[in-house]
Chains A and B, each alone.
Chain A
Amino acid sequence: MATATRPPLPPLRPPSDAGGRPPRKRRRNESIGTWRWTDRIGYAAMWGAGLLLVAIGIGIVGYMAFRGVQYLRPSLLFSHPQPDLDQSKSGGFLDPLLGTVILTVIGITIATPLAVAAATWIVEYGRPTWLARIVDSGIEIIAGTPDIVIALFGLVLFQQSFFGWMSFRAEDGAVFGRSFLTAGAMMALLALPMVFAATREGLQSIPQHVREASYALGKTRAATIRRVLLPSVRANISTGAALGMGRIAGDTAIVVVLLGATLQLDPQGAVPGLRTLTGTGGTLTSYVYNNSPAGEGNAPQKAYAAAFVLLLIVIALNFAVDFIARRGARTGLETSRLGAR
């Protein structure tokens, strides 16, 4: 010991593993058998919940696919529905399909700019703080409002004579308040919170130094937002918009209350291109409802076929969301790669 020049270092790990075996070699998956029984129940419940939801999802899609394929004919997609008790003469659902498309386009066209503007203001300006908080809560309230309440509110609102141009007037001058425009405007409220949340999340994930890099090049705040920040969150906006479109396409209450849920498109007004928009109509959702045994049509076969088409549209939108997100990751457009800080 006299020749020792430096003391031996203490062992790095506590000498608990007898035999000096490095603990890494003993790596074995932990066994559930060592868990407490409450943890085991929880574990089983988590597995069960996951499997149950998958089963429900597959069940819905599978059953609708089975029924849909059974009743869906290409001609149904291209023929107008007819009010006829004889199912062979009652036509297809071209009009509801068009109605769904028109309504979705109107809704998302109104919602996206509003939501992006609001999200940009909240994240990039957000002052005074109390106002930002109010705006935030306002959008949360809209997100939480049941669609039937939004529909009723819309009906009251758009029956004011000020909004007469959006629908049409009865002979005594009363505003009808029901049209694609009014329904689309209210549908925008359904999609708005989704676009808002997605955009805000994207903007918040852009690190501060990216903004500063733009300012340090002598750019104004406006130029930074327009040229750097909004292009960065394009994928987020698209994702939010696709989710919002799914929400619009799947809504029924607003269609029934504000669009009339008619069988065919029913153009109103004098302006040629605008006649459809100021007129009433129906969508796939209202068509399904009306043809289901709960509605008056009592043509479940057509309801199944239309429901299947609607399901396909929504699933396609979901895949679009997924695709947009993945493409963003591949091209490095998603914001998280802009830097860790």
Chain B
Amino acid sequence: MITNDQELIVDPDPPRPAQTPPPPIRRIRVDREPTVAPPPPPAAGAAAPANGAAPTSVAARPARGPGGPERMSIDGLSVFYGDNEAVKQVSLPVRQGEVLALIGPSGCGKTTLLRTLNRLTELTASARRAGAVRLDGTDIDDIEVTTLRRRVSMVFQQPNPFPMSIFDNVAYALREQGTKRPSKKVLEPYVVDALQRAGLYDEVSRDLSHPALRLSGGQQQRLCIARALAAGPEVLLMDEPCSALDPKSTAVIEDLILELRESLAIVIVTHNLQQAHRVGDQVAFMYLGDLVEYGTAEQVFGAPRAERTRDYIRGSFG
């Protein structure tokens, strides 16, 4: 009997099959190219029922040219935690009407970069920031922080509805703090509108007073999106919004992102390269705090310029 070790040494085959199956991202491209060729008009994509879409389907995604006006500009941004530089000299535009996907291995600073955009990093005592982030030309330090966070709202990795009713969760974002609380009747149209934009209204319209924590994980996450939308943001930050969800809920939320793109600038952090490819118009690849590559999704995934990007999207590391 030959032992395994010997056979491994004698037979040169085993290493090879590891390379032959195409990396997952290529398979997506094959799926995608025929669907992109006849680009459906955006309205048709938005009108398509979102719920039935399979997670890997990219048919709903309309082709995009360059995005609209620049809403946020990140200019030479560095973020430090103590002495550790988590984000190094990053410059990026965030444009109206397009999805910017931040990808990169764990700990590369993409979430930190995202949290800097609405000054959530300031909650960490050791965090310092250098460089400028502007919202419509105004430095975000010059905007009152609660105003900034309403204009640049955020959805988190874990669905985190508050322990109150569905209605109150959305209304929470609408109610001004300190002043007189507006009545339920006044708020209702806004709550319904936010729930509709998040694609959740049809599922919960009968039980708006039910506790939000009884919803499923995917519904909870869409409720969180509705809550963020109710604040009336111009930029929506999403920190791995689907990583705690099942594939079907993921597909629903991805379709939602593509719909919301029309009215907002969206920045999404994702570990899922296929997702970045599916929803991202522009993709930024970060590695150890550096912005390695920035370009359209087609360019970054199809013809990456940097060696690191190529290795990463092929799954060599990360």
Verify if B37 is at the interface (C-beta below 8 Å from A): no
Verify if A294 is at the interface (C-beta below 8 Å from B): no
- Which of the listed residues B147, B154, B178 has the most CB atoms from chain A within 10 Å of its own CB? B154
Question: Does B146 contact A220, Cβ atoms closer than 8 Å?
Answer: yes
From the candidates B146, B163, B224, name the one contacting A219 in the complex (CB within 8 A).
B146
Q: Is the interface of A mostly helix, strand, loop or mixed?
A: loop
Closest chain-A Cβ to B53's Cβ sits at a distance in Å of 26
Question: Does A333 contact B153, Cβ atoms closer than 8 Å?
Answer: no
- Which of the listed residues B172, B178, B237 has the most CB atoms from chain A within 10 Å of its own CB? B172
Verify if A340 is at the interface (C-beta below 8 Å from B): yes
- Chain A residues 70-100 with CB under 8 Å of chain B are none
Question: Does B149 contact A332, Cβ atoms closer than 8 Å?
Answer: no
Question: Does A231 contact B163, Cβ atoms closer than 8 Å?
Answer: yes
- Chain A residues 313-341 with CB under 8 Å of chain B are 331-333, 335, 337-341
Question: Does B160 contact A209, Cβ atoms closer than 8 Å?
Answer: yes
Verify if B110 is at the interface (C-beta below 8 Å from A): no
Question: Does B228 contact A340, Cβ atoms closer than 8 Å?
Answer: no
From the candidates A6, A215, A231, name the one contacting B164 in the complex (CB within 8 A).
A231
From the candidates A9, A209, A335, name the one contacting B157 in the complex (CB within 8 A).
A209
Residues in A neighbouring B214, C-beta threshold 8 A:
332
From the candidates A6, A231, A337, name the one contacting B13 in the complex (CB within 8 A).
A6
Verify if B202 is at the interface (C-beta below 8 Å from A): no
Q: How far is the CA of A212 from the CA of B213 in the complex (A)?
A: 17
Question: Does B7 contact A4, Cβ atoms closer than 8 Å?
Answer: yes
Q: How far is the CA of A31 from the CA of B7 in the complex (A)?
A: 44
Question: Does B163 contact A332, Cβ atoms closer than 8 Å?
Answer: yes
Q: How far is the CA of A8 from the CA of B4 in the complex (A)?
A: 7
Verify if A214 is at the interface (C-beta below 8 Å from B): yes
Closest chain-A Cβ to B148's Cβ sits at a distance in Å of 8
Closest chain-B Cβ to A268's Cβ sits at a distance in Å of 44
Residues in B neighbouring A9, C-beta threshold 8 A:
4
Question: Does A332 contact B213, Cβ atoms closer than 8 Å?
Answer: yes
Q: With A6-B14, A215-B123, A217-B149 as given contacts, are A222 and B177 in contact (CB-CB < 8 Å)?
A: yes
Q: How far is the CA of A212 from the CA of B111 in the complex (A)?
A: 14
From the candidates B7, B120, B158, B177, name the one contacting A220 in the complex (CB within 8 A).
B177
Residues in A neighbouring B153, C-beta threshold 8 A:
216-218
Verify if A133 is at the interface (C-beta below 8 Å from B): no
Q: How far is the CA of A198 from the CA of B29 in the complex (A)?
A: 54
Q: How far is the CA of A59 from the CA of B12 in the complex (A)?
A: 78
Residues in B neighbouring A231, C-beta threshold 8 A:
162-164
Closest chain-B Cβ to A313's Cβ sits at a distance in Å of 31
Verify if B67 is at the interface (C-beta below 8 Å from A): no
- Which of the listed residues B13, B160, B177 has the most CB atoms from chain A within 10 Å of its own CB? B160
Q: With A207-B158, A231-B163, A331-B211 as given contacts, are A219 and B177 in contact (CB-CB < 8 Å)?
A: yes
- Which of the listed residues A207, A216, A338, A340 has the most CB atoms from chain B within 10 Å of its own CB? A216
Chain A interface size band reads 35 or more
Question: Does B160 contact A227, Cβ atoms closer than 8 Å?
Answer: no
Verify if B159 is at the interface (C-beta below 8 Å from A): yes
Closest chain-A Cβ to B214's Cβ sits at a distance in Å of 6
Question: Does A217 contact B160, Cβ atoms closer than 8 Å?
Answer: no
Q: With A217-B153, A337-B213, A338-B163 as given contacts, are A7 and B8 in contact (CB-CB < 8 Å)?
A: yes
Verify if B80 is at the interface (C-beta below 8 Å from A): no
From the candidates B7, B149, B160, B177, name the one contacting A338 in the complex (CB within 8 A).
B160
| Proximity bits, B203-218, A CB within 8 Å = 1, else 0 | 0000000010110000
Verify if B173 is at the interface (C-beta below 8 Å from A): yes
| Proximity bits, A225-249, B CB within 8 Å = 1, else 0 | 0011001100000000000000000
| Proximity bits, A194-221, B CB within 8 Å = 1, else 0 | 0000000000000101101111111110
From the candidates B4, B13, B118, B211, name the one contacting A5 in the complex (CB within 8 A).
B13
Q: How far is the CA of A223 from the CA of B177 in the complex (A)?
A: 6
Question: Does B120 contact A212, Cβ atoms closer than 8 Å?
Answer: yes
Identity of the chain A residue whose Cβ is nearest the Cβ of B10 in the assembled complex: A7
Closest chain-B Cβ to A172's Cβ sits at a distance in Å of 52
Identity of the chain B residue whose Cβ is nearest the Cβ of A210 in the assembled complex: B160
Q: With A215-B120, A216-B118, A217-B172 as given contacts, are A210 and B162 in contact (CB-CB < 8 Å)?
A: yes
Q: How far is the CA of A215 from the CA of B228 in the complex (A)?
A: 11
Q: How far is the CA of A212 from the CA of B154 in the complex (A)?
A: 9
Q: How far is the CA of A214 from the CA of B153 in the complex (A)?
A: 10
Residues in B neighbouring A220, C-beta threshold 8 A:
146, 177
Q: With A218-B231, A332-B211, A337-B213 as given contacts, are A1 and B149 in contact (CB-CB < 8 Å)?
A: no
Closest chain-A Cβ to B74's Cβ sits at a distance in Å of 18
Question: Does B11 contact A6, Cβ atoms closer than 8 Å?
Answer: yes
Verify if B150 is at the interface (C-beta below 8 Å from A): yes
Q: How far is the CA of A41 from the CA of B128 in the complex (A)?
A: 59
Verify if B227 is at the interface (C-beta below 8 Å from A): yes
Besides A218-B148, A218-B153, A222-B177, 17 other A-B contacts (C-beta < 8 A): A1-B2, A5-B13, A7-B7, A207-B158, A210-B162, A212-B120, A213-B160, A213-B162, A214-B162, A214-B172, A216-B156, A219-B172, A228-B172, A332-B214, A338-B160, A339-B160, A341-B158
Lowest 3 A-B CB distances belong to which pairs? A332-B213, A218-B150, A216-B154
Which residues of A come within 8 Å of B, CB atoms?
Answer: 1, 4-10, 207, 209-210, 212-220, 222-223, 227-228, 231-232, 331-333, 335, 337-341
Which residues of B come within 8 Å of A, CB atoms?
Answer: 2, 4, 7-8, 11, 13-14, 17, 118, 120, 123, 145-150, 153-154, 156-160, 162-164, 172-173, 177-178, 211, 213-214, 224, 227-228, 231, 237
Can you report 19 A-B residue pairs in the complex whose CB atoms are below 8 A from each other?
A5-B11, A6-B11, A6-B17, A7-B4, A9-B4, A209-B160, A216-B153, A217-B150, A220-B146, A228-B162, A228-B163, A228-B172, A332-B213, A335-B163, A337-B213, A338-B213, A339-B159, A340-B158, A341-B158
